[in-house]
Structure 1
Amino acid sequence: MDDRLQRVGVVGCGTMGAGIAESALSAGLDVRIAVASEAAVGRAKDRLLKVFDRAVAKERMTPEGRAGCEARLSIVPDLYELADRQLVVEAVVEDLAVKDAVFKTLDTALEDPDSVITTTTSSFLVADLAACTTRPQSVIGLHFFNPVTAMPLVEVVRTPHTSAKAEAVAQVFVSDFLGKEVIHVQDRCGFVVNALLVPYLMAAVRMYEQGVASAKDIDRGMTLGCGHPIGPLALLDMIGLDTMVAVVQSMIAGSDDLVAGVPPLLIEMVETGRTGRKAGHGFFRYEPYGDSPRRS
């Protein structure tokens, strides 16, 4: 593999995948995004180009910079079109079967045996995903935080099989190109941040469920009383309640004794479509979607 990282692949163009792709394009990398279908290609391209258009309108990017990002961006409906990528970031839904399938395909699709395969999983063991490949030495976890373009931290997660070379390439990508701070963590359920954060968020849901305080006051308690930049319930809305249910369930399956279970209220909210900011309604209402909440 060329020692200079130039060609990056991203699997998935949801919130995390799009944010990672945007950051990589802005850093001057050639980025190819693999999406699930031909129909999704146009949607993914529109999503990213609108981001760059807003950046130009707000004078955070020059028109020339936007043109360069568009020129370096390609979107494809087939994982095999990532064959020449030096590093691939898997950013699909937090579903083990889906991730397993992606890793198995990437294992055969990538031409260079030294190409690095990374996962953005927030709750599964990286070693379990690496075991789906014939190149576990090339697999490493990169746990980004939402929104990717604003959050400065990435958890870098080695497995017992990850090679020093793969870790070095991942470090260059995250630190040198994306400008992120890194913490190195063990491959355990929830890593560091989620292992501490998820029990706290579930405690806030149970507190609201039990009528201890309103959603507004629970959040004000943590922002004004503890200095947190955002309250736990607003944070859940930003993450997505459906995403959080999947994270908790996978942490429970991984025998993480820090998480007691998914509060019934959270499951009920997801089943009725109240999944947070992206739906316009979670613990708070958002009008228009994504704007500051109207406290309810």
Structure 2
Amino acid sequence: MSVSKIGVIGAGTIGRGVAQSLAQSSFEVVLVDIAESQLVSARSQMERDLRMQGLFRAEKLADDAETILGRITTSTEPEALADVDFVVENVTENWDVKREVYETIDKICRPGVVFAVNTSAVPITRVASVTERPAEVLGLHFMNPVPLMDTVEVVRGYFTSDETLAVAMGLLDATSKEGIVVQDAPGFVTNRVLMLTINEAVFCVQDQVATAEDVDRMFKGCFGHKMGPLETGDLIGLDTILNSLTVMYESFKDSKYRPAPLLQKMVDAKLLGRKTSQGFYTY
């Protein structure tokens, strides 16, 4: 299957990163979001990010920012996805929201179009089950910031076909990203481990074992991590951390995934990290 036009659903931090990364690799992109203001904000942020990459990356961009952004069209209507060859969905980690998205686009996109679920915890097989194309559904878990991260967690659901996997791996190869295939289980590999680490770090702050700064300093100084777990949580978004933990807690029925009360309190207070300028740190 030839892929040249890709639909990207959701213009938040990850969605706009996916759109930018695909456009940098010469794909035509249709970026869809329910809010026009979010699309305007996403385009402005992509322009800033591209100009910064052009200034500071050792490897210069093949095209200028204007050319790359010219490959991205935006829309608030899902019908704009009618002629795409591949879809990457990036909406919130909420099953009710995701289900509605897939039930809608399954009727709009032509048969054979692959649906890639960009999720950190929602089971791919569950998503596939609400479509009429379960063999064409898989997970592509992109990491933030998408244009700068070279590896993607590729999740094979129960129904995912070899052909679908090959199309997705070919797409990643065209964007100079390596796909690592894992099997479908809540949290997969990256978030099954990472979310527990971040959550336990939150418990350490909550229980006054150490400050957020000292927790992160130890992970960077003792283990050589580029970022500590709480800095990572702020980058991902504390609401996303909470949603991911909640999905795994409900899926595994295991108390080790119980979100820290401090995490819930910060999300309730809209202290979500970098995207709100305040989380465990001020930005």
1:123 aligns with 121
Partner amino acid, structure 1, of 2:209: V
**Contact 2:248 2:257 (8 Å CA) reproduced:** no
Q: How many residues get paired?
A: 281
Matches within 5 A, 1:249-264: 249-255=246-252, 257=254, 259-264=256-261
Distance, in Å, in 1 between the alignment partners of 2:216 and 2:153 is: 26
Q: Residue 71 of structure 1 corresponds to which residue in structure 2? A: 70
Alignment of 1:200-219 (within 5 A): 200-219=197-216
Residue 136 of structure 1: how far off its partner (Å): 0.3
Task: Give the aligned partner of residue 87 of structure 1.
Answer: 86
Contact 2:230 2:280 in 1 (8 A): yes
* Distance change in 2, residues 1:268/1:88 (3 Å): same
Which deviates more from structure 2 when the two are superposed, residues 195-204 or residues 84-93? 195-204
Partner Cα separation in structure 2 for residue 97 and residue 80 of structure 1: 20
User: Match for residue 231 of structure 1?
Assistant: 228
Q: Which residue of 1 aligns with 2:99?
A: 100
Change (3 A) 1:229 1:39: closer
The secondary structure found in structure 2 opposite 1:74 is: strand
Structure 2 distance, partners of 1:200, 1:22, is: 30
Q: In the alignment, which residue of structure 2 is the partner of 1:48?
A: 46
Decide whether the 8 Å contact of 1:237 with 1:283 is kept in 2: yes
Shift of residue 208 of structure 1? 1.1
Please give the per-residue CA displacement for 1:208-229, whole angstroms capped at 9, x wherever unaligned.
1111111111111111111111
Q: Which residue of 1 aligns with 2:153?
A: 155
Partner of 2:8: 10
Deviates more, 1:20-29 or 1:211-220: 211-220
Could you say what secondary structure the match of 2:87 adopts? strand
Q: Which letter does structure 1 place at the counterpart of 2:18?
A: I
- 1:236-256 Cα distance to aligned partner (Å, 9 max, x none): 111111111111111111116
The Cα shift of 1:58 comes to: 5.0
Trace 1:273-292 onto structure 2 (pairs within 5 A).
Answer: 273-286=270-283
Aligned counterpart, 1:133? 131
State the alpha-carbon separation in 1 of the partners of residues 257 and 56 from structure 2: 45
CA distance in 2, matches of 1:30, 1:161: 28
> Is the Cα contact below 8 Å between 1:44 and 1:75 reproduced in 2?
no
Q: How does 1:160-175 map to 2 (within 5 A)?
A: 160-174=158-172
Q: TM-score, normalised by structure 2?
A: 0.94
Return 5+ residue gaps in structure 1 as ranges.
287-296
Q: What is the letter of the counterpart of residue 67 of structure 1?
A: E
Q: Deviations over 1:44-90 (max 9, x none)?
A: 3333233334444558447x532321321100111111111111000
Give me the identity figure in percent.
Answer: 35
Alpha-carbon distance in structure 1 between the residues aligned to 2:242 and 2:155: 22
Task: Please tell me the residue identity of whatever aligns with 1:108.
Answer: K
1:145 matched residue in structure 2: 143
Local SS of the residue matching 1:250: helix
Give the aligned partner of residue 289 of structure 1.
none
**Most deviating of 252-261 and 72-81:** 252-261
Letter matched to residue 91 of structure 1: N
CA positional deviation for 1:172: 0.8
Q: Structure 2 CA distance, aligned partners of 1:254 and 1:86?
A: 32
Using the alignment, how far apart are the partners of 1:86 and 1:238 within structure 2? 31
Give distance in 1, aligned partners of 2:258 and 2:277: 26
After TM superposition, give the deviation of residue 179 of structure 1 in Å: 1.2
Q: Hey, what does 1:34 align to over in structure 2?
A: 32
| SS of equivalent to 2:252 | coil
CA distance in 2, matches of 1:215, 1:43: 30
Instruction: State the Cα deviation string for residues 104-143 of structure 1 (Å, max 9, x = none).
Output: 11111002x1110011011010010111101101101001
Amino acid at match of 1:52: L
Q: Structure 1 stretches (4+) deviating beyond 6 angstroms?
A: none
Alpha carbons 2:16, 2:46 under 8 Å: kept? yes
Q: Kindly state the Cα deviation for residue 270 of structure 1 after the two structures are TM-superposed.
A: 1.3
1:272 corresponds to which of 231, 250, 269: 269
Instruction: Note the C-alpha offset of 1:42.
Output: 2.9
